[in-house]
């Protein structure tokens, strides 16, 4: 009897911790990106459609007039391609691109990190690996959470625009 209640308590605790795991955050982003990909049947309709809409303008910060999730992409199509690319890099790893030789976003980030370690502070084997791990883990959580919000936003905006027919020209 005691072992049964302990097992239930442990399972409950594991579910609570699991909700905040890196795998859970990654799965939420991949699910949002898959939903986006399944919803957006004609991605070319996103060309030349600005990322910002009336709802997004309400979430502009007062300091620099940037949306709550600023992006370098000029339109919804480029943003869609970025989110798909990141999802693919997460699922398949840092694969080399076609003969075009283009590097993925993750490959470029890894190369930049490696060059900064060589040019800046030398990476020692006994350096603070735990600190580095926690630093990058926090960064992953933050970035993946933002990417999930962006994929959901793009999907909802596409649904809203297509429903109203304003993306169709």
- Residue 12 falls inside a structural domain: no
Q: Give the model's pLDDT for residue 59.
A: 44
- Which pTM was predicted? 0.63
State pLDDT tens for residues 6-56: 445 444 445 555 878 999 999 999 999 999 999 999 999 999 888 876 444
State pLDDT tens for residues 72-100: 557 899 999 999 999 999 998 866 554 34
Q: Give the model's pLDDT for residue 96.
A: 53
Asked if 166 contacts 46 with a C-beta cutoff of 8 angstroms, the reply is no
- Residue 4 falls inside a structural domain: no
Q: What residues make up the domain containing 144?
A: 22-164
Which residues, other chains included, contact 35 with Cβ-Cβ below 8 Å and sequence gap of 6+?
151, 152, 155
User: Considering its fold, how many domains does the chain have in total?
Assistant: 1
């Amino acid at each position: 009897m005691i072992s049964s209640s302990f097992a239930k308590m442990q399972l409950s605790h594991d579910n609570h911790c699991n909700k905040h795991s890196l795998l859970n955050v990654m799965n939420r982003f991949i699910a949002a990106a898959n939903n986006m990909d399944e919803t957006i049947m004609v991605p070319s309709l996103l060309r030349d459609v600005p990322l910002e809409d009336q709802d997004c303008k309400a979430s502009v910060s007062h300091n620099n007039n940037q949306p709550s999730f600023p992006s370098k992409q000029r339109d919804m199509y480029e943003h869609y391609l970025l989110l798909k690319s990141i999802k693919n890099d997460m699922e398949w790893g840092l694969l080399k691109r076609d003969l075009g030789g283009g590097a993925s976003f993750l490959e470029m980030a890894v190369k930049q990190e490696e060059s900064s370690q060589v040019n800046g502070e030398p990476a020692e084997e006994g350096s603070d690996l735990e600190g580095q791990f926690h630093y990058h883990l926090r960064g992953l959580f933050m970035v993946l959470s933002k990417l999930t919000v962006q994929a959901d936003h793009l999907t909802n905006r596409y649904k809203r625009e297509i429903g109203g027919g304003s993306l169709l020209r």
